[in-house]
Chain A
Amino acid sequence: MSGRPPVGVLRGGPPGWLAAAPALLVAALFCGYPVAVMVANSFGVGQAPADTGPTLDHYLNAFASSAVRGALIASVIVAGGSVLLTLGIAIPVVLRLARDNRAGRGTVLADALLTLPIALPGIIIGFFAIVLTGRTGLLGLAWDGFSGLAYTLPGLLVAYIYFAIPRVLGPLRGAAETLDPGLADSARTLGASRIRVFCTITLPLLLPAAIEVGGTAMAVALGGYGTVATLSEGVRLLPLNVVNELTTGYRLASSSALAVLLACLSVLALVAGRVLSRTVRKGFLS
């Protein structure tokens, strides 16, 4: 061996965590501190008027209130249901778009139309729902059953589906693009019907991504305020209660307790999505 020093070895570069430092700093400032204040308020150990001393009353009161329980259940139904239904709509769409893309057929217009709602505030989507299915909405003119639907649970579900579509479609599109079309082709040549190919090959391979995307979309939907605020005269969801506690009497502590509940629910959806996705992927692929 020659005595030459090694060349081209990357040594003494900046440590990897340094790259993450700005993001961590922003997260700590805009997430860590406010969350701490919110949690402190909810236990009565925060800022006035939420400084009455350590207590669980605000949580107990929240769970004791039938209005809050109703809003909590409605929130889970609307967020979970809309995401599930959106997945049902989005999976065939992303598979089709991925196929078109591979075949060199343009998907720009379809992509643009389907991801447009991501640019629209929830309040606008609520407005759309009123225009279509409000008491004097367009669809209501065609059939009475649609009149006022916007203020009911099914109406809210539909509005939230529109809200969730781009949030599900975008990430799922990427996952569908990575599916090897040779897998479905091989399955078909082996004698499997299209439905069988979908159930035994395509769906199982897309499922981990669908679960993860669904968890994230549900977390976002749970916290969505604009849409339900526009349609607030009907079904009430938890974000409305959080704001209501502040705007009617400035009940900071009980508002904070509800906000913590809402945040926990969102984080739970996010984490559950990731854990379940990983479990399913591991179950399939290990």
Chain B
Amino acid sequence: MTSPHSPVPSSRGAGLTVHDLTVRYGSTTAAANVSLDVAPAETVAVIGPSGCGKSSTLRAVAGLAPVAEGRITLAGRDITALAAARRNIGLVPQNYAVFPHMSVAGNIGYGLRARRTPEPLRRERVRAMLDLTRLEELADRRPDQLSGGQRQRVALARALAIEPDVLLLDEPLAALDPQLRGGLRRELAAMLSATECATLIVTHDQHEALSLGSRIAILRDGHLVQFDTPQVLWNDPADAFVADFLANALLLDVHRNHDHVLALDGRWRIPLGQLAVRPTGHGVSRLLLRRDSFTVTDTADEAALEAEVTHSEFAGDSVQLTVRAAGTTMSLRVAPDARIGRTVGLSVAGGAATLLSPTA
């Protein structure tokens, strides 16, 4: 579903359009009625937990997974039933799948040889790709002599060499050391923006999705939950799953009165004056609480919500608390010197929590 107010670029006819896509493996439905689109030069991130259908969606676009229902169009062509070899897509698989028996240049030129591109043109294109991905020095190296980041660049250069209509990246940073991911993510973003190729990235990492995608499609159990810009997903999540998965935030249904809201079946009464109020496109009033939205007291306070501390974790500049109140588990962050007992009183820090209201 797309939020009514989302600034969806019009990409029908150009770029990639996935319409009501269903992918089944035997009796298992991996993706159901997924619709999304990628405009030319746009990067869309598909995110969700393991088994949500994001990789199946990408593989269906690539022509490597069976399409049970729906339609896929690319650059104005219906490619739903087209063989993978004829789709003109550039795929970078999760483990990069760099051909181990070919040099870096051999890998990059593979698709051009398969397309019988004339030798001079092929050499020129390979050189341009080596230049783009800064692999000139490594052109004659074998893949086993490369680092993970270099292999990723080879796979990217190989996919881009054929001038694809869309670039598909499957978990592009998952195979790399966590310490390197930040730098390589920025490097990848720079290379993608230099190519101006429509790009679909599949990831389970919220940082990757938020930083690389100009729009994000979030999937759960094979269904598309929300497809919008990172800002909209961050500020107005469709449901508690989106808030939790993408922003580690808590989204509570609330009942709004004239000067306060009631959450957790009326057990938590929060004065309206303590909340920032923003409009929502999802029709009902909800309270968006991030880790820093709380103040914690260990004294009995009538306005505070009593919560049981189930876990406490020292994180250097703060303490991460997991608490449980009225059957709901919440994560919050407190100062490292805060005195924490078995129970705490939770209040909303002034202006740090947001009331998403259809009538703001």
Contact = CB atoms under 8 A, between A and B. Distances in A.
Contact of A204 (B94, B101, B114): B101
B101 A205 contact: yes
A201 B85 CA distance: 15
Main secondary structure of the interface of A (DSSP, over half): helix
Nearest to B110: A190
Interface string A123-167: 000000000000000000000000000000000000000000000
A182 B93 contact: yes
Interface in B136-181: 142, 144, 155, 158-159, 162
Given A183-B99, A196-B114, A204-B101, A189 B84 contact: yes
B198 interface: no
Contacts of A192: 85, 110-111, 114
A17 interface: no
B97 A186 contact: yes
Candidate in A183, A189, A285 with the most chain B CB atoms within 10 angstroms:
A189
Nearest to A200: B110
A191 B90 CA distance: 10
Interface string A91-104: 00000000000010
User: For the side of the interface on A, what is the size category?
Assistant: 20 to 34
A189 B101 contact: no
A185 B93 contact: yes
Contacts of A286: 142
Contact of A187 (B25, B87, B110): B110
Contacts of B86: 191
Candidate in B86, B114, B155, B158 with the most chain A CB atoms within 10 angstroms:
B114
B144 A285 contact: yes
Interface residues of B, number: 30
A152 to B, nearest CB: 40
Given A182-B94, A185-B84, A285-B142, A191 B100 contact: no
Contacts of A284: 100-101
A183 to B, nearest CB: 5
A182 B110 contact: no
A189 B90 contact: yes
A191 B91 contact: no
Contacts, number: 75
B64 A188 contact: yes
Interface in A44-102: none
A188 B88 CA distance: 10
Contact of B162 (A103, A182, A191, A200): A191
B100 A205 contact: yes
A196 B111 CA distance: 11
Interface string A194-208: 001000110011000
A205 B143 CA distance: 14
Nearest to A187: B110
B99 A189 contact: no
B344 to A, nearest CB: 41
A145 to B, nearest CB: 41
B288 interface: no
Contact of B101 (A182, A188, A190, A285): A285
Contacts of B89: 189
A190 B114 contact: yes
Contacts of B110: 187, 190, 192, 200
Contacts of A196: 114
A185 B111 contact: no
A193 interface: yes
19 contacts: A185-B93, A185-B97, A186-B91, A186-B97, A187-B110, A188-B64, A189-B63, A189-B85, A189-B90, A189-B91, A190-B110, A190-B158, A191-B86, A191-B111, A193-B85, A196-B114, A205-B101, A285-B142, A286-B142
Closest 7 CB pairs of A and B: A190-B111, A182-B97, A284-B101, A192-B114, A182-B93, A189-B91, A191-B114
